[in-house]
Structure 1
Amino acid sequence: MLLTIVCWMAACLPVPDTTRPHIYDAVIHEIMPKPTPVAGLPPFEYIELRNSSTHTLQLHYWRLVVNKREAVLPACLLPPDSMVVLCAPAAADSFHIPNVLAVDRFPALTDDSGTVALYNASRQVMHAVAYQQHWYGQTKKAGGGYSLEMKDVSMPCSGRLNWQPSLAAAGGTPGRYNTVAEKITDATRPDLYFTEMPDSIHLILHFSKTLDSAVAANLLRYNITGASIKSATVIPPLFKQVLLELAAPVGTAVCNLTATGVTDCTGNESLLQNNLSFARPQMPAPADVIISELLFNAPSGVPEFIEVYNRSNKAIDAGQLRLCARKTDGSLGPVKKITAGSRILMPGQYLACTTAADQLCDYYICRQRQQIQETGSLPSMPAAAGALLLLRADSQVIDAVQYTAAMHLELATQQKGVSLERLDNNKPAAEPGNWLSAAGTAGYATPGYENSQQWREADTFVSLTPALFSPDNDGTDDEARLTYQLPEPGWIGNVTVFDAGGRPVRYLARNIMLGNKGCMTWNGVGENAVLLPPGIYIFFIEIFNLKGRVKRWKQSLVMARKLS
């Protein structure tokens, strides 16, 4: 049976004993950031809290903070496993439910994204959620009238993974159990993404998800080559950042930092992305940072991106970089920050800026997720042609790019969803032939990591391994791997698998744009999606470019099967 709250408005009423609350005893359980156009609920914003503990909570003097706007909660007892709906006083009577609590100066919720934090009477964080509009997915629910509901109260710091738009016909379930409720598994790790240096003795570490604040505050978890750490402070309310105070200033020489044993609130530790290099950032000179990739004709529901590359030998603060479009009349459009705050961009690093990182990486391969930076908005990038400037904060031009759709490969069957990549970072953006479509073998875009199309000194080779493979899912040689390396961009490839009788059985690639290097795999399945019989198979590889050059290879292998 669903329990309801008991709000004690009169001092003469007896108030049951309550236990001092701990973090996540109460969680933000449902958020209605955009109630109109209505689907069935009253046209008012609300936030639902749920007591996930085993004891009653007294909400008196607790604080609700939305994007730094704060409201103090009135006296209200919240029994275990019960919910209360917080809203503005003018909206309280519209919900027609007993467990609603009118909050004076109820802070407004922004439609697209915002941070909601709940503090207890001692100003300790109970729970915080940084919601974003793309949590709704590509549905009409993003337009308004539907709430975001938490799936699993036992996983309060799992972020987007633990939230989904309500399935209720009315658009939400204020005061009732969520329609999306289910147990979830969160295998994500708290990866160390990047750092910023507000001054010479402070370093802010940015992690990918909420940390166990008690563990992350232990300065022994961190090691910096050539520097001593004086203190470590986990920054509320999201606990995704750690402020390190150094014992002495550091300079422009590169330092290496390692975080060991830092876990999220469920105990997961990152064992892969737990170290990075940093240095005191310096002011970029022209061409120190360049525009290296553009996605200006994105598929429906996928955000555009602009990628920059630090080609200098110094650390640069990306927070000092700006982007803007140059209009056809020569005037400049609105200037956009690359990052909301500071961020150290080390030599040789790429950084892709987009308005919705998760949506971008849902569509494209993001091999370096930490190099995808979310920003509020990007300059206008028309699909036919445009011009972009990369600026310093003082308006000094760092790089300039003029692009047109005609810069894509002439043989490309489509341009939508295909980025333009800079082929040579050491040549001007305006150099003829210095831009080309991203390779199909790389997923048609490479946000945040090296471009698939580059001019480089390399030999051409094609390799097919292993000589004998067995697609039996035993974890050993289950696939054949065709790897290649090309010295220049602009090659188109066809790969066909023939059986011993010369009959084509699988077309691995048909007129696909190749990158400088790549890999294709074959699991022994034919064009009819049926596993082929064991035997000898021949790969016929053909590549060609617009200059009329053609290269061909034939390589064979054996597909084996285990005897039953």
Structure 2
Amino acid sequence: MIKNLTTLIVLFCFCLFSLNAQIVYDDFSDGDLNYSPEWNGNIEDFIINDTFQLQLNFEDDPLRSSYISTAISNNSLELKEWRFDIKLDFNPSNSNRVEIYLASTTENLLDYENTGSIQEGYYLEIGENGTEDGVSLFYRNGQTTQLIARGGDGLFASAFDLRVRVRRDENAIWEIAVDPSKGESFEVLASGQEASLSAATSLGFICYFTSSRSSSFYFDNIYFGNYVFDTIPPSIEEYKIIGNNQIELIYNEELSQVNNSNYSLQPDDINPLQVEQKDDTVRITFENSFENGRNYFLLAENISDLKGNTAELDSLEFLYFELENAEPGDIIISEFFPDPTPVLGLPDEEFVEIYNRSDKFIDLKGWKISDDTESEGSLPSFVLYPKEYIILAPASAKDGYANFGEVLVPSSWRSLNNGGDSIEIKDSSGVIIDALAYDRSWFQVEEKSEGGYSLELINPSLICFDIKNWKGSEADQGGTPGMVNSTYDSTFTGQPARIVSFYSSSPIQLEIIFDKKMDMESLVNASYLLQSGDQIDSIIVDRQNENSVKLNLQNKLQNDVTYTITIEEVSDCNGNIAEDLSASFLYDIERPQLDSLFFLSDSILLLTFTEPIDTLSAENLSNYSLSPQITLTKAQIWSKNQLLLIWENRWIAGFPYRLTVDSISDLSGNFMTQLKQEIIMKKPAKPTFNDLIITEIMANPKEDQILPNRQFVEIYNATDQLFSLTDVQFMDERDTVNLGLNYIEPNEYILIAATSAVEDLSSYGRVIALSPWPNLNNRGDNLQLVTDEQIINQAFYSESWYKENSKYDEGGWSLEMIDTGSPCLGISNWRASVDEKQATPGAENSVMESNTDQSGPELANAYAPNTKEVIVDFNEPIDITNVRRNQFRIVPEITIAKIELLDLNRIKLVLQADLKAKVSYTLVVDNLTDCEGNIILSDQNQTSFALAEPPVQGDVVLNEVLYDQKSGGADFIELLNISDKYINLIGWIVKGNNNEEVIFENENVIISPGQFLVITSDKASIIKDYPTSHVAQNIYETSFPALSNGEGVVSITSANEALTEYFEYSDDMHLPFLRTTDGVSLERIHPDAPIDKTESWNSAASSVGFATPGKENSQRTSEDIDFGTIAAKPKTFAHDQPGRNYTIINYQLENVGSMATVKIFDMKGNVITTLANNETLSNTGFFRWDGVDFNGRKVRTGYYIIYFQLFDSNGNTKVVKETVAVGF
């Protein structure tokens, strides 16, 4: 809220001279009711709203009146003034009224309701029934009131918003005045005399209301203190231009008389022709018109208000302008943001910035913005000043871009396509003011074309379009909406013109087409030289075709002659000079002939001609007819000498048709004779397994390489057949893109790449543009060529395929297949290019050599995702053309209903009967071959699998932990399946102190009943560090969190969150006599031992190498933990012997809360160690003695007594003694 400026200035200035006179002032701009001043009462019923007013906001139940008050520090009422703004959003009545306490002797303004109240005060009341509502002043003494004055009848009968002023003079005469404008123009409504009370302690408001009015009372600018007098001179509050020589001023208060001498216009010190004044408004007329686009200063001198306050000098700056219509090019598109993701600093929204590069003031009302669709968005009225920018954006982006500049929201917004689109700006009459059609190449830096950067115009002053005048923003935040572009360069003029076409338009005329508009005078004066020696008779230019020039020759052109023209020097319309431009063409007067026909699909025919053909004639549908008739929907140039014909319906295979082709011309204007071709449609050949091969991958190009800085994939047709690619798709791990209407010749190499890369790569072979391009991952990706029916070829590459780390690290080297005759070998058949260009796109690979596979496939894994399916994995691609059901059998026998190919290494078996839980099955595969023809061997053709069941708590336990690995080694944990289930560990979570990992995130790993399974990040180091105590097939390498040395936490949670093992470990749990814990695991002494008890864990024995990864623990007790009364098991144990270097002292008690002391004595009665001292016990549990004394030293061989003393809550004592023997 903008507070009333006059009131604030008056009060502020008054306070400067009489600080002590002000007792209360609050405009609530601090948003605080508890400080300066402090308000009391029912403050929970009031708020300071968004416009900084005190507002009633009653939300309680039941309804009651609410008051708010504040203290008067100087409590004298003589010669005092009260001021406040009040707004009631309803028609006041007896039920909905307000009492304004000017003075009260109690802080509680409702104290008078109490019996025996001694409250005195003065208050105004507004609100009564009827239509004569006025304002009344009362004196209160307890529950007795006396009317002092009343006025303003009818003024308060309906909703109102005004300022009230009350004064009391030295004779106790009261005066009530109001100003509906909330300024200083007060009208006195009533007065009266009452002197009963001369001092008070509080002022405030009481609101009486019904539920519908519980938030409709507003108060502001509350003042109590000495009289406030107007001592502020008048000032100009607002102005408006009236016509081309008048200006109207509105002051903040009514003025005394003014005349011409009070005003002058600067510069030039011009006095008005006429000055007219009424109240607070002055209209000034000058003799001459204001100049368009000029800034003026209006000086006002000696302007007085009605109180005699004079402003000696006041000034006003204003800009005068006249609106003009825009011409094309006056306003241009200067920046746009088609792809805001990823966000670098700008809002995640599109925008288009336009720039007024003219000297005109232009109103954009009714202007339109559109893209490559028919949808247009209209702009609201907005005057765009010369050399100013405006941001156009959707409504959702307005607030975000408001931080960068002025934003206009069109009536509708069509999203800009990331890969390319058009933008058009029209004025209200539909005239195109500026337009462009962009693609990703405009960014000039490929990384910026991937998103997050805007496209910026480099030099907005260039007269003519130049594609190099655009580039990706150089701003860190990704763009510069509403301001000068980060790429701005006023000296940039673009690139010199190039010849894009040179041909004959008649036998005696040549035409040259340039890639941009040219300087017409430069074209006329240029020197043109024909290598053939032919003379140019005249030069013709056309203002309607500023990118071309025609040359009339003295003699006719000769057939089958190549003509080359050279232009010594010519300028484009931006002044860029091109020197020694050259172009050639073959003059041809022979008619084009049809060379071949090929069906890309059963409704699309590719025609190949003997020479390049004219687009206009080739794409004219009337030049073709088919019998029997099928509607031709499109004729489209495919390449210079190729044409696509697309019919509405399919051709019938094997049925004879007649195609008539007529009036097709070549580029020299030679028309072919009518052709009638008999055609029997044969369905186009589709590639099958390994007919097409991915032979080269450029995943990580770089800027300074010899080849273009572009990703590409090379595909080779390894057959002697021509294939349609219409139904072929290219896939990576994220995207699938159709290769579209295309083909591949026998033994041809083709490249696939992003649309923006086609031009750069086209010199290396035929390039198929894919949009969107599946961006290749530098570290590795899964690439496939597929149809709806099958996989054709795949390359699941990784960084290890390079074979040379330096080439992978350097970047810019492609991966090449070594032997295209062995396309299924995977990593062994790929390496980094050795070519000097670092790749061989479109050509035979530089690493080509024989590389055959003589090993059969291996059955790697089998997994049952449900009761009716088994997923089978092989270690290499298999021959998918020769896979049969009878090659697979399951023991115990289950019939296989069908097989499905998932990829070249993976097959799904669909079963007739359900798999049973808790049964181990064996899968056997016979007579299967890889795609080189090698058969699977009997020692590699079978594996076990089972139907997994979901775990519950206790099915799998944490059995061993190595948290302090050997130097250069790895941590591990060991799980033990103590259930009778087969349990899948996919998606289980292992947590350490500070991180967590999902183990086997995409791998089905089954832990069998009774199986020990080790999880680590480095299987090889575990095998190396524990060479004699590991079981390799039980060790799995996967993601694994770092475990803290010394002490820490490890927890395991199943994917269904039904099972959790949580273990807090520390070095104190190890045997005390160990010199180091490095490389020593903690073993759980029994699967049933409580995981959170120190006694349940022990250091792995030195005799097994200090860990037992994947096998039974060295410290596992052979005794079950049965918690029977009090007993030691085993009775005999020895140091450094697996499973026998400690004893367990079990107890089972009748009463809860018993205490125990447990000590170990030697046979001489000496205390060797204490296991418990007055320790409170649960019903059941155990202690463990490792055969060490108080100091952690191993005890001598011999007999020892376990002394177990119990105390229950009734004072009863029981002693149990057990003898154990410690041996060698």
TM-score with structure 1 setting the length: 0.63
Per-residue deviation, 1:138:
7.2
Q: Which amino acid aligns with 2:954?
A: P
Per-residue deviation, 1:390:
1.7
Say whether residues 1:48 and 2:680 are aligned partners.
no
Tell me the residue number matched to 2:885: 219
Q: In the alignment, is the contact (CA less than 8 A) between 1:39 and 1:169 conserved in 2?
A: no
2:744 to 50, 71, 78: 78
Q: 1:49 to 1:398 in 2, by over 3 A?
A: same
Tell me the residue number matched to 1:183: 850
Matches of 2:791 and 2:982, distance apart in 1: 35
Deviations 1:54-93 (A, max 9, x none): 3333323311011151111134443333322211011222
For residues 8-157 of structure 1, the aligned pairs below 5 Å read 9=639, 10-11=642-643, 19-36=685-702, 39-95=705-761, 96-120=763-787, 123-136=789-802, 139-143=805-809, 144-157=811-824
For residues 247-326 of structure 1, the aligned pairs below 5 Å read 247-266=913-932, 267-284=934-951, 285-286=953-954, 288-290=956-958, 308-326=975-993
Q: 1:445 to 1:456 in 2, by over 3 A?
A: closer
Matches of 1:115 and 1:339, distance apart in 2: 17
Mean CA deviation greater in 251-260 or 285-294: 285-294
Say whether residues 1:395 and 2:1094 are aligned partners.
no
Matches of 1:337 and 1:368, distance apart in 2: 20
Per-residue deviation, 1:254:
2.7
Secondary structure of 1:30's match? strand
Q: Which amino acid aligns with 2:748?
A: S
Q: 1:438 to 1:186 in 2, by over 3 A?
A: farther
Matches of 2:780 and 2:1080, distance apart in 1: 27
Tell me the residue number matched to 2:908: 242
Q: In the alignment, is the contact (CA less than 8 A) between 2:779 and 2:798 conserved in 1?
A: yes
Matches of 1:16 and 1:169, distance apart in 2: 44
1:450 to 1095, 1110, 1120: 1110
Q: In the alignment, is the contact (CA less than 8 A) between 1:423 and 1:435 conserved in 2?
A: no
Matches of 1:419 and 1:152, distance apart in 2: 49
Q: In the alignment, is the contact (CA less than 8 A) between 1:421 and 1:451 conserved in 2?
A: no
Q: Which amino acid aligns with 1:67?
A: E
For residues 442-521 of structure 1, the aligned pairs below 5 Å read 450=1110, 454=1114, 488=1138
Deviations 1:323-354 (A, max 9, x none): 22232xxxxx3441423154433234455667
Secondary structure of 1:276's match? strand
Deviations 1:497-555 (A, max 9, x none): xxxxxxxxxxxxxxxxxxxxxxxxxxxxxxxxxxxxxxxxxxxxxxxxx99xxxxxxxx
Q: In the alignment, is the contact (CA less than 8 A) between 1:222 and 1:258 conserved in 2?
A: yes
Q: Which amino acid aligns with 1:83?
A: Y
Matches of 2:966 and 2:767, distance apart in 1: 43
Q: Which amino acid aligns with 2:1006?
A: I
Q: In the alignment, is the contact (CA less than 8 A) between 1:62 and 1:123 conserved in 2?
A: no
Q: In the alignment, is the contact (CA less than 8 A) between 1:193 and 1:206 conserved in 2?
A: yes
Tell me the residue number matched to 2:466: none
Q: Which amino acid aligns with 2:700?
A: K
Matches of 1:382 and 1:343, distance apart in 2: 26
Matches of 2:966 and 2:839, distance apart in 1: 32
* Higher relative contact order (Cα pairs below 8 Å, separated by 6+ residues): 1
Q: Which amino acid aligns with 1:42?
A: P
Secondary structure of 1:134's match? helix
Tell me the residue number matched to 2:111: none
Q: Which amino acid aligns with 1:450?
A: G
Per-residue deviation, 1:269:
0.3
Q: Which amino acid aligns with 1:139?
A: N
Q: Which amino acid aligns with 1:51?
A: N
Say whether residues 1:339 and 2:1001 are aligned partners.
yes
Secondary structure of 2:871's match? strand
Tell me the residue number matched to 2:627: none
Secondary structure of 2:756's match? helix
Matches of 2:835 and 2:806, distance apart in 1: 14
Secondary structure of 2:828's match? helix
Q: In the alignment, is the contact (CA less than 8 A) between 1:291 and 1:399 conserved in 2?
A: no
Q: In the alignment, is the contact (CA less than 8 A) between 2:1048 and 2:1065 conserved in 1?
A: yes
Matches of 1:291 and 1:457, distance apart in 2: 13
Per-residue deviation, 1:242:
2.8
Matches of 1:243 and 1:158, distance apart in 2: 24
Deviations 1:409-450 (A, max 9, x none): 9899x98xx89696878476975544589989xxx999xx83
Deviations 1:264-313 (A, max 9, x none): 2223304223323333222233361546576987999x998766554543
Q: Whose Rg is larger?
A: 2
Q: In the alignment, is the contact (CA less than 8 A) between 2:865 and 2:947 conserved in 1?
A: no
Q: 1:80 to 1:387 in 2, by over 3 A?
A: farther
For residues 429-440 of structure 1, the aligned pairs below 5 Å read 432-435=1097-1100
Q: In the alignment, is the contact (CA less than 8 A) between 1:129 and 1:238 conserved in 2?
A: no
Matches of 1:40 and 1:382, distance apart in 2: 49
Matches of 2:1025 and 2:766, distance apart in 1: 41
Q: 1:319 to 1:228 in 2, by over 3 A?
A: same
Say which structure is richer in strand: 2
For residues 418-437 of structure 1, the aligned pairs below 5 Å read 426=1087, 432-435=1097-1100
Tell me the residue number matched to 2:553: none
Q: Which amino acid aligns with 1:399?
A: E
Matches of 1:137 and 1:400, distance apart in 2: 43
Q: In the alignment, is the contact (CA less than 8 A) between 1:26 and 1:127 conserved in 2?
A: yes
Q: Which amino acid aligns with 2:720?
A: T
Q: In the alignment, is the contact (CA less than 8 A) between 2:818 and 2:851 conserved in 1?
A: yes
TM-score with structure 2 setting the length: 0.31
2:832 to 156, 160, 165: 165
Per-residue deviation, 1:201:
1.9
Per-residue deviation, 1:317:
1.1
Q: In the alignment, is the contact (CA less than 8 A) between 1:195 and 1:344 conserved in 2?
A: no
Secondary structure of 2:860's match? strand
Q: 1:59 to 1:308 in 2, by over 3 A?
A: farther
Q: 1:229 to 1:114 in 2, by over 3 A?
A: farther
Aligned-pair RMSD on alpha carbons?
A: 4.9
Q: In the alignment, is the contact (CA less than 8 A) between 1:423 and 1:454 conserved in 2?
A: no
List runs of 5+ in structure 2 lacking aligned partners.
1-607, 609-636, 646-676, 1119-1135, 1140-1192, 1195-1224
Percent of pairs with identical residues: 23
